[in-house]
Structure 1
């Protein structure tokens, strides 16, 4: 009897997942892909709420092959995912969280997309239920793109379709030493190593479910875990991408998504000891990875806060965070014939503080909100160059 390789292995890591697991498994059973083209490997990570029994009942009932592995609790999502990946036989692997669910036709559409384009990673549109997922990458379906040409760097969760051969060739596994952000590290590496990434933006492939009990790993744990996560992702990017614009474009993500929230409204509630510790943890990251190219990509309030962290000025940071928390609108100052818009957040042109004007320079996206702003365009740059050349030609040669 010939055993046909499944197209996709669905890896489900589950811990205390009831009752959400019931709908999760129902969404797998409802997939339109032929049951013979799919296998499920479910890892119960030491649950005590009936999760393991639910998985075994599912395995006994459905027509698709299901392997249930029950193990002692590993303490995080990386262990179960790695166990499942090590057992996977499919051409592709999809990591499904036990409290989430697949959209209709999700696996069939993602496998078809990868096969049609020869891409190594496929992102299917994500919608939230009691949670808000990232949105900026779903503007348009992309048959083939990469991490530098799209917004996919802002979705680094593990719920993607990965070509298993890519993962095996590079020995990729989830970092079990990280308690949060382990999926960001794995997914960013896959993006960087992939021969193309596809994005399905016109069909919901995944529902990210917010648990009523609030038991999400990303919502738990102390602030030091966030610094661990930021450090790991920044190191990965630095190891894989040479210095320059492309590296800066990727560093934008850990600075804004992981590091910056530590110096947001929650910073106002921190004790003086915690504030000092946050600055200590941030110092090596700012020294190694904070560049003008990264700063330029940030909004003014983000750039100003991280500038003060980089300059080790906690006493100046508090008023800025209070200003941001109050959602005050910074006054705008248009200069250079409307081509520059400065946003007057605290300490703007305060000579006693000496923060450079460049920190307060609005990004084009911010500046467009203000009447009178004149955006630099390739045509305007060309016109200035032509005018300058004409002036040079009209100037009499020096005697």
Structure 2
């Protein structure tokens, strides 16, 4: 007999079009005891539509925030108002594949347990309830701190696949034991930051390559609309992590690498913002204020200019289109996959 033990948390803003499918996919799973939707001050009918998606089982609750506070605040509010021993985050335009939790709970030697993510281009997603994932091996592997942090450094011209995108089932007991919640100052990388702090406190983070989570890839997603200051806050979060005395030097080294990666992106974005708002003279002054500013700005601007030049000359390789379907992690049907 399956014992319902998971609280699914859906932080939603202006998601009236997609949230019924998200809720239905969660309520379909017998392991789900609660589905908590937090409407983060939507200006559409998200709360009304979410309430209408109730299946009559008494598992759905909808919380309405009057002021937009961001996904971290919304998730923390849901955690505070729920009781289930396990927590699972579901984005409002995503969905669970049938049988997801059965595979994740196949063993109990973990604090976080994540599966592969099927990334589906939004113009090819029709009825998500009929989407079936390929059969990949569910043999478990365990991430460590350094591999996780390294797996969140994006590469230019490479389709994004950072491990911070993972949506694990999380042990509430582990969060409570270590006083962990989402950082409400972050509106970008809040998942990454929570997982990193959990790793630093010894979390056992299990990953299986079989797919249980479907993510709809949209051009207007929140992660694609982040503000320049969101990058600075994420880099500052890395600096806070570096203050954890128990981290070994190897872990701190890769964390510094991630901090520089995010900080350099911030410096380039801020340069472009200053140029647009106050002109080239002010932007140049910002770039020349320090070598730390100048190098990533020159590198980023030069790369963009060269890309444009090569495209104009027909010398640039044709940009690969976003595939209609891909996976966050490579999978195989071989039973011995590690």
Q: How does 1:217-366 map onto structure 2 within 5 Å?
A: 217-239=222-244, 241-242=246-247, 244-256=249-261, 258-262=262-266, 271=275, 272=280, 273-274=282-283, 276-277=285-286, 308-309=291-292, 314=294, 320-325=299-304, 326=306
Is this contact kept in 1: 2:23–2:35, CA < 8 A? Answer: no
CA distance in structure 1 between the aligned counterparts of 2:137 and 2:286, rounded to whole angstroms: 39
Give the structure 1 partner of residue 84 of structure 2: 90
Give the structure 1 partner of residue 182 of structure 2: 174
Range 85-94 or range 239-248, more displaced: 239-248
Please, which runs of 5 or more residues in structure 2 have no aligned partner? Answer: 123-135, 153-161, 309-338
Give the paired residue count.
278
Matched, 1:205 2:212: yes
Please, which runs of 5 or more residues in structure 1 have no aligned partner? Answer: 132-137, 284-307, 329-399
With structure 2 as the length reference, what TM-score do the two structures score? 0.70
Report how far residue 140 of structure 1 moved: 9.0
* Cα RMSD after superposing both structures: 3.3
SS of the residue 1:219 aligns to: helix
Give the structure 2 partner of residue 51 of structure 1: 46
With structure 1 as the length reference, what TM-score do the two structures score? 0.61
SS of the residue 1:239 aligns to: coil
Give the structure 2 partner of residue 356 of structure 1: none
CA distance in structure 1 between the aligned counterparts of 2:273 and 2:185, rounded to whole angstroms: 28
Is this contact kept in 2: 1:126–1:205, CA < 8 A? Answer: yes
Give the structure 1 partner of residue 110 of structure 2: 119
Give the structure 1 partner of residue 97 of structure 2: 103
Report how far residue 14 of structure 1 moved: 1.3
Bigger Cα Rg: 1
Report how far residue 168 of structure 1 moved: 1.0
Question: Residue deviations 1:255-301, cap 9 Å, x none?
Answer: 32x22333569956861435655777xx7xxxxxxxxxxxxxxxxxx
Is this contact kept in 2: 1:10–1:94, CA < 8 A? Answer: yes
Give the structure 1 partner of residue 34 of structure 2: 39
Give the structure 2 partner of residue 192 of structure 1: 200
Give the structure 1 partner of residue 316 of structure 2: none
Distance 1:194 1:19, change over 3 A: farther
Give the structure 1 partner of residue 328 of structure 2: none
SS of the residue 1:49 aligns to: coil
Give the structure 1 partner of residue 120 of structure 2: 129
Is this contact kept in 1: 2:76–2:181, CA < 8 A? Answer: yes
Distance 1:145 1:157, change over 3 A: closer
CA distance in structure 1 between the aligned counterparts of 2:137 and 2:258, rounded to whole angstroms: 18
SS of the residue 2:255 aligns to: helix
Report how far residue 90 of structure 1 moved: 1.8
CA distance in structure 2 between the aligned counterparts of 1:248 and 1:139, rounded to whole angstroms: 32
Is this contact kept in 2: 1:18–1:49, CA < 8 A? Answer: yes
CA distance in structure 2 between the aligned counterparts of 1:109 and 1:276, rounded to whole angstroms: 55
Report how far residue 139 of structure 1 moved: 11
Report how far residue 94 of structure 1 moved: 0.6
Higher relative contact order (CA 8 A, sep 6+): 2
SS of the residue 1:81 aligns to: helix
SS of the residue 1:206 aligns to: strand
CA distance in structure 1 between the aligned counterparts of 2:52 and 2:241, rounded to whole angstroms: 41
Range 182-191 or range 319-328, more displaced: 319-328
Report how far residue 248 of structure 1 moved: 0.7
Report how far residue 40 of structure 1 moved: 1.2
Report how far residue 184 of structure 1 moved: 2.3
SS of the residue 1:99 aligns to: coil
Is this contact kept in 2: 1:11–1:93, CA < 8 A? Answer: yes
